[in-house]
Amino acid sequence: MLDTAEILKKVRQIEIKTKGLTNHIFAGEYHSAFKGRGMSFSEVRDYHFGDDVRSIDWNVTARFNHPFVKVFEEERELTVMLLVDMSESSSFGTRKRDKRDLITELCAVLAFSAIKNNDKVGVIFFSDGMEKYIPPKKGKSHILFIIRELLSFTPKRKGTNIKETLRFFNNAAKKRSIVFMLSDFLSGEYQDALNIAAKRHDMVGIQVYDQRDRELPPVGLIQVADAETGATQWVDTADRRVRQYYEHQFAQHAQYCKNAFMKSGAELMTIRTDEDYVKALQTFFLNRA
């Protein structure tokens, strides 16, 4: 567990890195990818030939005895919700960073992109239940608070339950939001809950994984432990059939995630812990624009 000084130092490092990425790379892409979904009244102006008669402001027209029309502009203020997996499996990693580190940096980039566009950002930490809720707010200090919590928060439980998390969010969120769910999605089924969330919100899944989640190295007999249940077993990684079975299990899980998001109409990104997430995010934003 990091002490306070270490946490503040880490927060500053993440701020410098991710805010720089936001300013130089994602400024335009985020705005284009997530435009305001509504229209708000801005002003009235004189009626011009060809204007839609449905936009005439009859009260102002009657007052001045001259036709005026309402002018509307796109509502830019959005609410971004980050649903963040804090389960024990998210702390696993064998390369340059673990899944939790990657999730933290992704959250920071998304959060700084949101506040640069004057949007609110809120967070739900989850495991096999709802762990912590941070209400949506604006401002740099709020984002730095979120990053501190990402670095220092200790969940009460170890497991992962995507279905219950989405159920909680579906019941709690009244306003349409942009939702990023960051997880390895090592959970039971969640199709129905995801369907409901995707109908109400702009839903994006970001599945993070480590290379060793997908394949085992042929290093002989090793003891492996399930981070969430604590169960251990000996595995002979020298056996090709064992390694193939392990890869098959990962492929099945990945296919379920892909199908679940596709069926719901939501979107899914997949990012490995040793990959360049900048390119993945930029490609995603540009494809939505």
User: What pLDDT, on a 0 to 100 scale, did the predictor assign at position 183?
Assistant: 96
Contacts of 146 (CB under 8 A, 6+ apart): 82, 107, 108, 111, 121, 123, 134
User: How far is residue 119's CA from residue 121's CA, in Å, rounded to a whole number?
Assistant: 7
Contacts of 20 (CB under 8 A, 6+ apart): none
pTM (predicted TM-score) = 0.81
Strand partners, 74: 39
Mean pLDDT of 83-110: 88
Answer yes or no: is pLDDT of 254 > 90.
yes
Give the residue range(s) of CATH 3.40.50.410 domains in the chain: 4-32+76-288
User: What pLDDT, on a 0 to 100 scale, did the predictor assign at position 289?
Assistant: 66
Mean pLDDT of 144-162: 92
Place of tokens 């936001």: 22
User: What pLDDT, on a 0 to 100 scale, did the predictor assign at position 180?
Assistant: 97
User: What pLDDT, on a 0 to 100 scale, did the predictor assign at position 214?
Assistant: 87
Per-residue pLDDT tens digits for 97-108? 889 999 999 999
Instruction: Count CA atoms within 13 Å of residue 32 on its CB side.
Output: 13
Beginning with the edge strand found earlier in the chain, give each strand of the sheet holding 79-85 in spatial order: 130-137, 120-126, 79-85, 178-183, 202-209, 267-272
User: What pLDDT, on a 0 to 100 scale, did the predictor assign at position 170?
Assistant: 92
Question: CA geometry: angle at 287 spanning 282 and 289, to 5°?
Answer: 95
Percentage of the chain exceeding pLDDT 90:
45
What is the β-pairing status of strands 267-272 and 232-236?
A: unpaired
User: What pLDDT, on a 0 to 100 scale, did the predictor assign at position 72?
Assistant: 60
Residue positions counted in the chain: 289
Mean pLDDT of 101-129: 92
The CATH class of the 4-32+76-288 domain is alpha beta
User: What pLDDT, on a 0 to 100 scale, did the predictor assign at position 27?
Assistant: 64
Answer yes or no: is pLDDT of 18 > 90.
no
Instruction: Count CA atoms within 13 Å of residue 84 on its CB side.
Output: 34
